[in-house]
Each structure stands twice: as structure tokens, then as C-alpha cells.
Amino acid sequence: MSVIIKDSGLLTILQTVSKTITEDNNDYNGAVDNLSPRLANKLVGNDVYEPTIEMSGQPGAIQFTEPTIFAYSGGDFRGTMNDETVENNRIYHANRGDILSFGESNRGCRVYIAVAGGLAIEKSNVLKSGDEVIMRRDYTSLHDEIFHMMMNKRKVSWGIGVYSIVEVYLSDTYHLVKRPGVPNEVYEQLEEKEYTVVSEKNRVKLTLEGQKIELEETDIEHAGVLGGVYVDNEQLTIALNDFEAVTKQTHIGTVPSYHMHKLGQKRPGSKIKFKAVDIDDAHVEMYKHHLWVKSLYKAIDYKISKELVKEKM
């Protein structure tokens, strides 16, 4: 059975968490916000690296063709299903024919929808209205228990609270790993004032407006880097997952992976403030972030196991 894309919204794709090349050479460049799909998968009992449906800008609507368990994470989009409110970071049970749709967002610009048992990767990952995504139904004993737990209810009473992720999603400060050869004066300029996101070319780059960076720009081709911060005509752009493989823009630093998920939720009008860090400091922060994510996984496991025990009593 499948999930039907009733309304593809601005941009809907089937996406892997990390960059993946399929057997038929289709490129999946990874989730722009690579934390949210992992949290959604964890909530429904999947391996955290299962593909999810990524909806950007103004999400549309999907329809379930059989009973299943789902969760979505990412931007603060309020969902509805059968005139009932559906919230992010919470486990829900859907019946055959149910339609999940989304309204406006107070924060963020992307949602990631995970379905218990996973979704199959097939050919192009760009989804249009009317397309179907096959449900793999790769169920484990944990899935069986979750299905039984949700048999007579629409949702669980708990979820990942906003305060659990407030620092990573609501902070406007982004680390920028310094590049050798870039004058310190450039980083001092960057740290002086905040920048405003003026546009986002879908999954390609963010264009920022703010203090101009005075730097002798080069005209040499070099590889595009995910999270790379580039100077183009004295203004800044930040490379997202579908950024060009080769660019002539001057690379002055890179937003590290542990801040890319919240960068992926920035939309026009959002603010960004940079803090330049050395590579050694970035490695320390990356490890701290890894431990924090593991603690979230453990909290979800604990909540699910507690719910399962309650059901068996």
C-alpha cells in the first residue's frame, strides 16, 4: 500500500537523511534539516536513517491508504486530520483514507513525515500531486507493539516538547569554522552584526543581507561545500544540500554539521548571527551535539516503553 500526495505544496520530495545514490543513479542529496527526520523516525519505531517525506515552504497534504502510525518533525506547522489538530514530534494513528494537511508555520519552513515500517525509494524523489510513495511495511516487534498500543487511540499524550529542542532550533547564533588564509578581520566583520535571510533558492542556498564583507574575491573554480559560507559581490550566501558542485564564489568558512539542521529551517526574514570558531572547537561541539541527540533518542525510547507497559497493565 502507499501514501498518496494529495497536494504537493511548494516542494515535496522523498528524501534520505544523508546523501545517497540509488542503484539507478538517482541522487538523494539528504535532508536539509537532518535532525528532524531522525526524530520522526525514532518516534514511529523506525531506524533513524529511514527515508521520510520532506515538505518545504508551504507543505501540502498526504493521504494514507491503510492504517498506519506516523509522526512528523521540523517546523512548527500545525497539521489537521479529520478536523482534528495534529502536532509535530508526537505519535499518531491514521486510518485508511485519512488526509493529513498543514497550515501556516510560526517557526521553520520544513516538515519531515515518517511512517512506521519505512518508505520505499523509487526513481526520482521529486513528488507531485497524485504521486504515490510505497510503504515498505518493514515491521519489527517494536512496530507490532506500537500498533497495538495505538489500536484504540488517535495519539499518545506526550511528545518532544519545544523546550527540549529550544537551543538548537530557536537560537540565531551559528558557528562558522574558519578557513586557513582568510584574514581575521573578515571574521571580526562577520561577528559585528546580524544578517537577515532575504531568500532561499529551494534546497540550494540561502542569500543573506547585512554588513558587506570587504575581501578580495577570487575567480577560481573550486568544489561547493555543504554549509559553506561564500562571498558574492560583498554579500553572503550559505550552501544548502543542492548547492552547485563547482563554484567561483569565495569560500570564507563553513557552518558545521551540528548547526545545519536549524539552518535548514531558516526562511526569508529570519536572522543569523555568526560566531567564528577553530576546527578543534568545532570537533568538541560536534561530540557534545552527538551526546545530546543520543539523550533525545533515549528519552523517546523511555516514553514509548513506559506507554507500552501502561497498555499491558
The rounded distance, in Å, linking the Cα atoms of 193 and 199 is 19
14 vs 21 pLDDT, higher one: 14
Could you tell me which of 48, 51, 42 has the C-alpha nearest to residue 125?
51
Q: What pLDDT shows up at residue 19?
A: 82
With H, G, I as helix, E, B as strand and everything else as coil, classify residue 143.
helix
Domains and CATH numbers, the chain: 2-167+301-312 (no CATH), 171-277 (2.40.100.10)
76 vs 115 pLDDT, higher one: 115
DSSP class of residue 21 equals E
CB atoms within 10 A of CB 54: 27
62-66, 205-209, 309-313: which has the minimum mean pLDDT? Answer: 309-313
DSSP class of residue 210 equals S
Q: Are 114 and 54 a contacting pair, CB within 8 Å?
A: no
Q: Give residue-wise pLDDT tens across range 137-183.
A: 999 999 998 888 888 888 777 767 655 665 555 678 999 999 998 88
Average model confidence (pLDDT) across the chain: 87
CB atoms within 10 A of CB 245: 6
Q: What pLDDT shows up at residue 305?
A: 84
Confidence class of residue 281 from pLDDT cuts 50, 70 and 90? very high
Q: What pLDDT shows up at residue 307?
A: 74
